[in-house]
A and B are shown apart, each in its own frame.
Chain A
């Protein structure tokens, strides 16, 4: 088979890229290794969209990237998958139900036309010129010709397979991965307001006293408001030479996450008021990876660009989330733009330097390690995904593909 645009990965960036490409009229194939779309927002149980809104000001939440990102968020709320934005200090976030993310993505893919979605499929090979991609599903190979490819795999798997240039931070600086699990049967009053802080203090003391493993330090709780359900997030440390593209390391992270979760669940049940009948309701399908490969693109979004709120003539999206550095499991360090001005993301940062038909969206776009700590969040991934999908579609179908073309096509689709 042959398509105009092949999108690798069905997380927020990939689903936005594929649906936008298809809406633009390009024959599009979306390839996803899991059984559902949504990426980290489904499989890893990440339960908030960050980067959807401008930094909080005097007025209410304002869309950072009107277009696919705002459409997805609006439909998530309308479909009952989110109760709406919440303010947390200087930022707005959109807490959501992971299952809803998968459901909504299915609905939107189904309505897009021109779009085939293949779940349970991995990309195992690409031709040197990237005009063909080989997929595998349960031991069966399939070859697909593609005019343009969007790498929205989060880990830059196309970059890895194509031998395209990429950067990856050294192990000690890579953002720590997160293990998120669900608890059910928690009394509603048990985690609210000051109780959450008291739980945090108790965990800290239990770790200091040897009652909990050191890895439990930093566990944070968020109630969903849905029938005594609470999500617990643990930032994992990983091995000292941690590499998120190495199977042994990913395996160790999954095992470490489940072990910590089991210890924490027991600790909550036996020593935390309101948790005596709580139990683990769900483990994630996979650990949440925050950072791995970053493409070497035609422009590298620098740390100073995000700090200063840089503007670019070929801007196609905006990064409004602060640089949220999680280089240790001691909690995030937030670095806000100096003047409160969000940075533009130029189309050049979504294009591989060495491959004319390769676009990159989501957390592996072309940027510095610190800038990635801002652009990696799911709300921004929706926006970079949309831009990369449109650019790939326009180029593959001979309709341009410059930033101005992307903006007009986005406006045309919004009007239709």
Chain B
């Protein structure tokens, strides 16, 4: 059985950003993959939603060791995290 191709970073960023916009945070105009999620209101409540979104939406498991402030700083960081987990699974 073949694994599906691993999406590139740009498309991951796009999908994560869209999901955050739609389901988690009311982000300001001009918010992009490099913007600070904490400044946009990411707190521990929103982070729970985000973990579920990544795990259910992208089929990855984010281990405890990867749950840290730096990894959730921006959509770009999250895309890296997801791609790394997908690569490990593949």
Residue of B nearest to A326 (CB): B45
Nearest A residue to B47, CB-CB: A200
Question: Does B64 have its Cβ within 8 Å of any Cβ on chain A?
Answer: yes
Interface contact B62-A331, CB-CB below 8 Å: no
List the A residue with the shortest CB-CB distance to B37: A89
**What does the 1/0 interface line of B23-41 toward A look like (CB < 8 Å)?**
1111010000000001111
Contact of A331 with B38 at beta-carbon distance under 8 Å, contacts A201-B64, A202-B64, A325-B26 already known: no
CA distance A218 to B49 in the complex (A): 8
B51 in contact with A201 (CB, 8 Å)? yes
Cβ contact within 8 Å between B47 and A201: yes
Contact residues in B for A90 (Cβ distance below 8 Å): 39
Q: Which residue of B lies closest to A221 (CB)?
A: B44
Q: Given A193-B69, A197-B72, is A331 in contact with B43 using a C-beta cutoff of 8 Å? A: yes
User: What CA separation (Å) do A150 and B47 show in the bound complex?
Assistant: 40
Q: How far is the CB of B90 from chain A (nearest CB, A)?
A: 22
What 1/0 mask marks residues of chain A from 191 to 211 whose CB sits below 8 Å from any chain B CB?
Answer: 001101111111111011000
Q: Does B9 contact A (CB under 8 A)?
A: no
**Inter-subunit contact B45/A220 (CB<8 Å):** yes
Q: Confirm or deny: B8 has a beta carbon within 8 angstroms of a beta carbon on chain A.
A: no
Closest to B49 in A: A330
Given A204-B52, A333-B26, A89 contacting B41 (CB threshold 8 A) = yes
Contact B45 A332 (CB under 8 A): yes
Residues in chain B near residue A108, CB distance under 8 A:
none
Q: Which of A200-249 contact B (CB under 8 A)?
A: 200-205, 207-208, 217-221, 235
Of all chain B residues, the one with the shortest Cβ separation from A335 is: B26
Min Cβ gap B70→A in Å is 9
Q: Would you give the 0/1 interface string for B4-19, flagging 1 where the beta carbon is closer than 8 Å to chain A?
A: 0000000000000000
Closest chain A CB from B55 CB (angstroms) = 7
Would B26 and A200 count as touching, CB distance under 8 A? Answer: no
* Known A208-B55, A330-B23, A331-B24; contact A194-B41, beta-carbon cutoff 8 A: no
Best-buried of B40, B45, B47 by chain A (most CB within 10 Å): B45
Residues of A within 8 A of B (CB): 89-90, 193-194, 196-205, 207-208, 217-221, 235, 325, 330-336
B residues near A (Cβ < 8 Å) are 23-26, 28, 38-41, 43-49, 51-52, 55-56, 62, 64, 67-69, 72
List 13 additional contacts besides A194-B69, A197-B44, A330-B46; criterion CB under 8 Å: A193-B69, A194-B68, A197-B67, A200-B45, A205-B55, A208-B55, A219-B45, A220-B44, A331-B49, A332-B43, A333-B25, A333-B26, A334-B40
The 4 closest A-B pairs by CB, nearest first: A331-B45, A204-B48, A334-B41, A333-B26
A-B contact pairs, 30 of them (CB 8 A): A193-B69, A194-B67, A196-B44, A197-B67, A197-B69, A198-B67, A200-B44, A201-B51, A201-B62, A202-B64, A203-B48, A205-B55, A207-B48, A208-B52, A208-B56, A217-B48, A217-B49, A219-B45, A220-B44, A235-B45, A330-B23, A330-B24, A330-B45, A331-B24, A331-B45, A331-B46, A332-B41, A332-B43, A334-B25, A335-B26
